[in-house]
A = this chain, B = another copy of it.
Amino acid sequence: MTPIMPKSDAAELIAAARIRKKLSWSDIADEIDAPLVWCVAALLGQHPMEAAQAERVCALLDLDTTVAESLQLQPSRGIDPAKLSDPTIYRFHEALAVYGPALKELIHEEFGDGIMSAINFNVDIKRREHPDGDRVVVTFDGKFLDYRW
């Protein structure tokens, strides 16, 4: 019996295969007909994939079944302190430091006491062209959950 390959190892093999085969993340998401951000998050280890999806990814990337097995594992998600200070990721957290309390006020004003779900939730990223320089547009879309006893 061997342990199942950790998702972090699977993610490294996927990264290597993707780069060497010159495939974009969109190519992979299209192959398995999945939303783009979800698909990347899953391949990086944040969501379990179904067997058929995992196998098609591995076929596309010439990776063996140990990777496909790993992709189907239930993940242990969590906040990784080492990733918080990467500048590309940090800017999102900084924006929440500046605007988070305002978003909290407005959620409570509009919906009442509760939260935006991070589980019944999706996120999208788009490029918006702009004469002063193109823009990154990221949309968080989560079900409102009210404190309900």
Contacts and interface: CB of A to CB of B under 8 A. Distances in A.
A143 B35 CA distance: 24
Contacts of A99: 37, 41, 46, 123
Copies in the complex: 10
Given A19-B4, A77-B98, A146-B119, A138 B103 contact: yes
Interface string A82-123: 111111111111111111111111111111011111111111
Nearest to A14: B1
A78 B78 CA distance: 18
Interface string A126-149: 011010111111111111111111
Contact of A139 (B62, B115, B138): B138
A125 interface: yes
Nearest to A92: B96
Given A1-B63, A95-B118, A114-B119, A88 B102 contact: no
Interface of A: 1-4, 9, 12-13, 15-17, 19-20, 24-26, 35-38, 40-41, 44, 46-48, 61-63, 69, 73-74, 76-80, 82-111, 113-123, 125, 127-128, 130, 132-149
